[in-house]
C-alpha cells in the first residue's frame, strides 16, 4: 500500500499543465457499486479554460461501460514507482475482479465526481464527460471537462512539475513493457 502524500489544489486554468508533457495516465471510473482502473497512454489536454481533456477508451473495456453509465472519470498521473501497476492495469480486465484490490491501489475520495482517486499518484484530474456520441462510437474518443485538479505538493509546485525524486517522476509508455521516465528539465529562452 502507498500512503497518500500531501496534495494541493491546482487552479483549473492551469490544469492542462498536469498533462502537457504527455505522461501515461491511469483512468479511474465508477458507477453504482462498481469501480475500475485502466492505463491510457493516449490522452492529451484539449483546452485551457474551461479545461478539457481527450482520452481514448476502448469499447471492450469495463472502464468504457462505467464511464458511459456515470458520465464521469478521473485521469490520475502515476509516478515511476507505480509503473508495474500501471502496466498491470493496462494488461487485465476489471471484469475479472476489483482491479484496485488486485493491484494493491488504495483510493482517496474525489471532490466533484463519484470516482475514486488512485492513491500514491502524483496528480489527478476529475472530469465530466462532454457528450459527443459520434466520436465516442466511431473513434473510442472521449472528451471531458476538468472540474477539479490536484497534484502532489512534493512533485508539483509554483505551477510546474519538478520531480526532485526521480523514482516518482511521471512516465511515458511506449510498447511491450517499455517506458521512458520524464527526464531532465530545461528552459529555452523565448528570445533565442
Q: Rule CB under 8 A: which residues touch a second copy?
A: 17, 20-24, 41-47, 52, 54, 56, 80, 83-84, 86-88, 91, 132, 134-135, 139-141, 143, 159-161, 169, 172-175, 177-190, 192
Minimum distance from CB of 100 to a second copy (Å)?
A: 17
Report the residue number, 33 or 178, with the smaller CB distance to a second copy: 178
Q: Does residue 169 contact residue 123 with C-beta atoms inside 8 Å?
A: no
Closest alpha carbon to 16 in 50, 41, 40: 50
Minimum distance from CB of 109 to a second copy (Å)?
A: 28
Closest alpha carbon to 39 in 96, 77, 2: 77
Minimum distance from CB of 32 to a second copy (Å)?
A: 30
Minimum distance from CB of 52 to a second copy (Å)?
A: 7
Residue 76 phi, psi (nearest 5) = -115, 140
Report the residue number, 101 or 111, with the smaller CB distance to a second copy: 101
Residue 82 phi, psi (nearest 5) = -105, 15
Report the residue number, 94 or 116, with the smaller CB distance to a second copy: 94
C-alpha cell at 114: 463519484
Report the residue number, 69 or 135, with the smaller CB distance to a second copy: 135
Burial bucket for residue 50 (CB in 10 Å: 0-12, 13-18, 19+)? exposed
Q: Does residue 136 contact residue 56 with C-beta atoms inside 8 Å?
A: no
Minimum distance from CB of 179 to a second copy (Å)?
A: 6
Report the residue number, 109 or 138, with the smaller CB distance to a second copy: 138
CA atoms within 13 A on the CB side of 11: 8
Closest alpha carbon to 4 in 82, 83, 103, 106: 106
Minimum distance from CB of 80 to a second copy (Å)?
A: 8
Report the residue number, 109 or 178, with the smaller CB distance to a second copy: 178
Amino acid at each position: 500500500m502507498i500512503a497518500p502524500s500531501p496534495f494541493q489544489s491546482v487552479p483549473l486554468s492551469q490544469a492542462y499543465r498536469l498533462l502537457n508533457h504527455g505522461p501515461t495516465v491511469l483512468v479511474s471510473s465508477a458507477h453504482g457499486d462498481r469501480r475500475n482502473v485502466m492505463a491510457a497512454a493516449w490522452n492529451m489536454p484539449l483546452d485551457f479554460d474551461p479545461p478539457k481533456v481527450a482520452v481514448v477508451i476502448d469499447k471492450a473495456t469495463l472502464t468504457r461501460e462505467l464511464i458511459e453509465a456515470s458520465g464521469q472519470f478521473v485521469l490520475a498521473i502515476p509516478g515511476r514507482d507505480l509503473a508495474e501497476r500501471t502496466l498491470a492495469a493496462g494488461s487485465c480486465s476489471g471484469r475479472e475482479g476489483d482491479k484496485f484490490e488486485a493491484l494493491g491501489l488504495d483510493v482517496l475520495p474525489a471532490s466533484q465526481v463519484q470516482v475514486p482517486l488512485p492513491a500514491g499518484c502524483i496528480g489527478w484530474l476529475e472530469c465530466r464527460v462532454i457528450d459527443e456520441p459520434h466520436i465516442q462510437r466511431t473513434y473510442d474518443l472521449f472528451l471531458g471537462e476538468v472540474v477539479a485538479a490536484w497534484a502532489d505538493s512534493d512533485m508539483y509546485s509554483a505551477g510546474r512539475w519538478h520531480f526532485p525524486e526521480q523514482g516518482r517522476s511521471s512516465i511515458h509508455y511506449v510498447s511491450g513493457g517499455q517506458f521512458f521516465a520524464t527526464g531532465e528539465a530545461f528552459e529555452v529562452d523565448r528570445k533565442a
